[in-house]
Amino acid sequence: MPFHLHKKRNRQDLWRDRQLAWRPIAYLCIEPKDSTMLNQTHYKLAEGVEIPSVGFGTYLIGNDEVADAVYTAIKAGYRHIDTAEAYRNEEGVGLG
């Protein structure tokens, strides 16, 4: 099990994680095998950040399965991972 899952989380850690969570960090991960997913429409958000129009949804994927699903989606070329606190799978999404 990764180290960060063993340590107790404090309020400052949770605040930092929330500050980072809204950013499309998947852009920093893995290059897709082809450029199909790169040649798509993007929407410009406030502060100039762009987000792809097509995203990988994580609703109804259990926390124990979502890490593999997100990893596979990023490997396939997705750069927009749609998640929400209400899905209750954020930990697994972050590990993917």
**Total number of domains constituting the chain:** 1
Tell me whether residue 32 is in a domain: yes
- Of the two residues 14 and 94, the one the predictor is more confident about is 94
Tell me whether residue 3 is in a domain: no
Tell me whether residue 13 is in a domain: no
- Of the two residues 39 and 82, the one the predictor is more confident about is 82
Residue-level pLDDT at 35:
56
pLDDT digits (tens, 9 = 90+) for 22-71: 444 444 445 555 556 666 788 888 888 888 888 899 999 998 899 999 99
Does position 6 have pLDDT exceeding 70, yes or no?
no
Tell me whether residue 66 is in a domain: yes
Tell me whether residue 10 is in a domain: no
Residue 94 backbone phi and psi in degrees, to 5: -65, -35
Tell me whether residue 31 is in a domain: yes
Please give the positions annotated as active site.
87
> In 3D, which of 49, 66, 65, 48 has the Cα closest to residue 57?
66
Does position 21 have pLDDT exceeding 70, yes or no?
no
Residue-level pLDDT at 23:
47
Domain housing 50: 25-95
Residue-level pLDDT at 39:
67
CB 58 within 8 A of CB 66: yes
Residue-level pLDDT at 2:
45
